[in-house]
Amino acid sequence: MNGHVQVEREGRMTIITLARHESLNAINAAIEGALAAAFDAFEADPDQWVAILTGAGDRAFSSGLDLKQQVSGETPAKLATGFGGLTRRFERLKPIIAAVNGLALGGGFEMALACDLIIASENATFALSEPRVGMVALAGGVQRLIGEIGPKRAMSMLLTGRHVSAAEGLALGFVNAVVPEGASLTAAKQWAAQILECSPMSVRAIKQIAGLVGHDLRVAMDVSRNLPAVKALMTSEDTTEGPRAFLERRKPVWKNC
C-alpha cells in the first residue's frame, strides 16, 4: 500500500485516508492505484460493511489531480474504476461516506460526489475548478452535480469554477451535514455507526434500487423486485431476524446471508 494512502479498520468500518499533506492530498498515478487497491479490498471483504474516505489534516480533503503530473506529461492511471479508483464503481453495493475537511477541488470533489454521503467541516470548500486551468471534469462531476442539485444551480458552479462553502453546499443539497472544523471524521463515524445498525443486505438492496433513479417509476418498481441484491435480501435470514429482534425488544444480530 502506498504510504500516502492509509487504511484502518474499526470493527466493520474501513477508514481510507489520503495523507499527502505537502500537496493538499493531490492525486497522482501511484496514489490512484493505491486507492483503487484499498477500495477493492473493502469491497471484497464480507466483514467490512461501510467505508469512510477522508483527507489527513485540516487543509484539504483532496485538491484533485496533481497538476505537476499533468504538466510533466506523466501518464495518468486511467483505471477502470475511475478517478481515485472510485468514480466509476457504478455497481458497488456497500456505502461510502466522504468526511470532507478543507478543500475538495476538481477530482477531489468528484470523488466526494461519488460517495453516498458527504459530511463536511465548517471550513470545507467545494469546486469543480477545472475550467480555471483549461480542463474539464470528466470523472462524473458534471453529471453527478447536475443530478443532485439541478442544472441551473449546478451550472452556476460548473461554468465559473467558483468555490462553494460547506454551508452553501448544504443549502444546495450535495452536502448532508456540516459539523465544526476538525469534526468531519468523527461525525462520519457516527453516520457509519447508524448504517451499521441496519441489515447490510437491506443497505445493499437500497443501493441497487437507488441506481434505477431516472427510470420510469412503474418500470423501476417492477425491475426492483428482480434485482440480485433485493432477491438475496428477501431469501436471507435477516428478514426474520429483524422482526424477531423488534418483538423481543433487543438489537438484531444480522446474519448477512
Task: Kindly name the residue from 22, 74, 91, 130 that is annotated as catalytic.
Answer: 130
**Shortest CA distance to 55 belongs to which of 8, 115, 105, 5?**
5
Asked if 124 and 148 touch (Cβ cutoff 8 Å), the reply is no
Main-chain phi, psi angles of 99, to 5 degrees: -100, 100
> Residue 36 and residue 14: Cα distance in Å, rounded?
14
> Residue 72, Cβ neighbours under 10 Å: how many?
10
> Residue 36 and residue 83: Cα distance in Å, rounded?
9
CA distances from 137 to 62, 140, 145, 160 (A): 15, 7, 11, 13
Burial (CB count within 10 angstroms: exposed 0-12, middle 13-18, buried 19+), residue 158: buried
SS3 (DSSP) at 179: strand
248 given a catalytic annotation: no
Give the torsion through C-alpha atoms of 54, 60, 63, 68, to 10 deg. Answer: -110
Task: Kindly name the residue from 110, 148, 168, 248 that is annotated as catalytic.
Answer: 110
Residue 119, strand partner residues: 99, 177
In the block, cell 477541488 appears at 105
130 given a catalytic annotation: yes
Catalytic residues: 110, 130
